Structure 1
Amino acid sequence: MSEFFDSRWVECPDGVTVAPGDGLPQGFRAAGIACGLKESGAPDLGLLVSDAPDTVSAARFTRSGVLAAPVIVCKNRTRLDAIRVVAANSGNANAATGGRGMDEAARMQGAAAMAAGVPEDQVAVASTGVIGVQLDGRKVVSGMLAVREELRGDGHGAFGEAIRTTDKFAKSARVKVALSGGEVLITAQAKGAGMIQPSFATMLCFVQTDAALDAETADLLLGVCVKRSFDRISVDGQLSTNDTAILMASGSSGVRVATQSPDEAVFGQALDAVLRQLALLIVRDGEGSERVGRVVVRGTDPRDVERSARAVANSPLVKAALHGGDPNWGRIAQAVGLAMADRAPIDLDITIEGVPVCVRGAAVPFDEAALAERVSGTEVEYEVLLPTHGEPATAETEVFFSDLSHEYVTINAEYTT
């Protein structure tokens, strides 16, 4: 297991090697500085630029009904298949800020376009931080001039630092992928620790590669990989206003990933592994989190499977038991029962860390001390089988979730004070 791929739930694919260092893929430059949005003086403005005119991109955004100004600006003013610049700030979400917030997001886009020398419609903007506070556009514009001077090919880490909010640690990836035409590099920077919910998470993630992709391939790969990563995590069941994930491919390596080719499969597996590991790092960071849980639910109806998995992952009782290392399977049963109230009565099979604890709705004997030891680790797996009534369990889903700690309450009770 590599230093980056450190979860038992994510394997490093064949042909992929973790690459140390801070160098971005060919064609990219990045930087991060402090422009004064954070009172702490920590970095809060990042700029990422592709110097390749034919850069191809894809993007995904939150499905919340309340959209932050930068998300609206990206959807309405950005060519999402040809993004060459990402300007991102932390310390302020620029969400629920009305018309002025929209103006500031557009102003940020314009300033980034001038700094990078590209058309405005090739610039994506992203913000993260407190909701409902006006963004100080003057600091962003002056900061854009300063961050432009810091752009460099090894700005991977600096950009990642600039997008952190309550994150305890930076979340980044740098891997090499061996393809038939040569080796390509994938780098990524992500942030997120709270307001995380399946149906996308409260996070930002930016991915760069020097592989050459067409727009359709980039969009397909990002969409599939997001569904298996950021769509599968929960910290607190809360859906953010600002979620943004962007994939940019400069093509500067000269190695083309042809559609429906073996190389597309290899590249897709690499991207999938990177995003799943980054998603798990977000859960692990979960504002006071000490353990990560994975719930796998099987059954015959995909809708029942999905809502049951989310109910377990978002249950405060299950999350508290995970935090305490308590194999209290009754909390899993009650969470599924809440989700499946219209199917009552139902008999569940529940397994914790491979140990059956409930079969067809009834408790079964197990070594409580041994199981308590198993659930005291940093990763705990729960499995639920819904009644199949003699049919094969063809529907299956998973959700990764964090525990619920005293620190989570403290962080969120004092977030704006």
Structure 2
Amino acid sequence: MAFFRSRWVQRPGHVAEAGDDRLPAGFRAAGVAAGIKPSGGLDVGLLVNGAPDGVSAARFTASGVLAAPVLVTKERARLDALRAVVVNSGNANAATGRPGLDEAARMQGAAAMAAGVATEHVAVASTGVIGVQLDGQKVVKGLLAANGRLSPDGAGEFSAAIQTTDAFEKRATLDVELPSGRVRLTAQCKGAGMISPRFATMLCFVQTDAALSAETADLLLGVCVKRSFDRVSVDGQLSTNDTVVLMASGRSGVTVAPESEDELRFGEALDVLLRQLALLIVADGEGSERVGRVVVRGGHQPGVDAVARAVANSPLVKTALHGGDPNWGRIAQAVGAALPGTAPLALDIAIEGVQVCSGGMALPVDQAALDAAVAGPEVEYEVGLPGEGADAELFFSDFGHGYITINADYTT
């Protein structure tokens, strides 16, 4: 299946899906089964940048309860010079106190030895159940096995090793034509539940053989994360473990200079990559069958952001989306809850381009056409507020019986 599959992400002409799955020059990866997941599947991944002068950038969850791997990475690693990432799935190593920190540090040290780099150049990530102590010895043994499997073709194994409740893998291999030459851009991502528009519950690792400065890498990653993973919601729940890491090897020989046409085009490629990955997370929302997009315009920025989040996180809106029910009254309710006041709000609402409410008053509509419009896999909602000059966008998944089933049995 093609990677770019959403109508809301338009692939630029200079970005193409590659004909192979090889990582960018300089990178190797592997995934192994270390016995952390009860299923026995792949659960430890190792990703290595072999370029000694490579650069990186990273972003982390905004949660006040930070998992041990996030703390260890932020405090013990050089975020502008990461050369390896070690990941385990099946255990989040969150809310585990000092023992959890010790195990995360052990993972970092073992990965440094396996990758042949200094400890400060290793990022640590974990995903899975919160509040259960991680058996770091299993991770160490897994890393010994992963070291012997490192390969430029190892992205598939690595991607499988970072998944938890994901129904499908989320990765891409892109070739990007820049004015100065061709570079490769790849990514592996996971996430399906505990996803909030403040940051997705997810891990994402991005690699390129372009030569970037640390400042450029940080700038581009920050901008693109705000337009992608910061704009999605499955259930409005903020994770303890969210991590995004971008690493550049420079092995292509193509330098992306600041404020250049190369930077602009590379940034466009990174943007569509992360936005499509974010949409895949929403589409894979636990039990999800449909994806919604809400666009809010007018008013002021805090207001439109609050309205977009209220609509995207509303159980009433999400269940209506799941059932293909164009019940726009639920949207109006969510908007009113986000913007309480004493006077009626002159509100506009459209669903798939069909205007259903204008100035706070219902409009006559072709109900059959409206029912058909919300029956597809993607449904767009537009909200207009009084005033102009601000806008906000959020992607969200529906709520169905599958979400309850998955999360009611998550630890049992």
| 1:66-85 to 2 correspondences below 5 Å | 66-85=65-84
Matched to 2:130, the amino acid is I
2:405 pairs with 1:406? no
Quote the residue 1:255 is aligned against. 254
Letter in 2 for 1:319: K
Q: Can you list the C-alpha shifts for 1:46-104, whole angstroms capped at 9, x where unaligned? A: 00001000010000000000000000001100000000000001000000000000000
- Listed as ranges, the gaps of 5+ residues in structure 2 are none
Match of 1:354 in 2: 353
Looking at structure 2, the residues matched to 194 and 279 of structure 1 have their Cα atoms a distance apart, in angstroms, of 12
User: Where does residue 64 of structure 1 map in the other structure?
Assistant: 63
Which residue of 2 is the match for residue 43 of structure 1?
Answer: 42
Cα shift readout 1:112-162 (whole Å, capped 9, x = no counterpart): 001111000000000000000000011011111111000001111110010
* Alpha-carbon distance between aligned partners in 2 of 1:394 and 1:162, rounded to the nearest angstrom: 44
Q: What is residue 272 of structure 2 aligned with on the other side?
A: 273
Cα 1:132–1:343 change in 2 (3 A) is farther
1:27 aligned partner: 26
C-alpha RMSD of the superposition: 0.8
Q: Distance in 2 between matches of 1:343 and 1:60?
A: 40
Give the whole-Å Cα distance in 2 for the aligned partners of 1:176 and 1:305.
Answer: 36
- Offset at residue 344 of structure 1 (A): 4.2
Equivalent AA in structure 1 for residue 30 of structure 2: A
Aligned residues between the structures: 412
How far, CA to CA, are the matches of 2:336 and 2:410 in structure 1? 33
Cα distance between partner residues in 2 of 1:150 and 1:344: 65
Distance 1:163 1:257 in 2: 30
Amino acid at match of 2:22: G
- Counterpart of 1:240 in structure 2 is 239
- Name the CA distance, whole Å, in 2 between partners of 1:354 and 1:39: 46
The one-letter amino acid paired with 2:395 is F
Q: For residues 44 and 19 of structure 1, do their structure 2 counterparts lie closer, same or farther at Cα, with a shift above 3 Å needed?
A: same
Deviation, 1:299, is 1.2
- Following superposition, the deviation at residue 180 of structure 1 comes to 1.8
> Partner of 2:252: helix, strand, or coil?
coil
1:347-377 deviations in Å (ceiling 9; x for gaps): 2000000000000000000101111001000
Corresponding residue of 1:300: 299
TM-score, with length taken from structure 2: 0.99
What letter corresponds to residue 145 of structure 1 in structure 2? Answer: L
How far, CA to CA, are the matches of 1:83 and 1:318 in structure 2? 41
Q: Is the 8 A contact 2:232 2:278 kept in 1?
A: yes
Aligned to 1:415: 410
Cα deviation for residue 181 of structure 1 reads: 2.0
1:91 aligns with 2:86: no
Instruction: Report the TM-score when normalising by structure 1.
Output: 0.98
Structure 2: distance between partners of 1:37 and 1:343: 55
1:126 match: 125
Question: Is the 2:344–2:360 contact (alpha carbons within 8 Å) kept by the matching residues of 1?
Answer: no
Q: CA deviation at 1:343?
A: 6.3
> What is the rounded CA distance, in whole Å, between the counterparts of 1:243 and 1:265 in structure 2?
27
Q: Deviations over 1:220-245 (max 9, x none)?
A: 00000000000000000000000000
Alpha-carbon separation, structure 2, partners of 1:380 and 1:146: 45
Shift >4 Å, 4+ stretches: none
1:411 counterpart letter in structure 2:
I
Change in Cα spacing, 1:314 to 1:343, as seen in structure 2 (3 Å) is farther
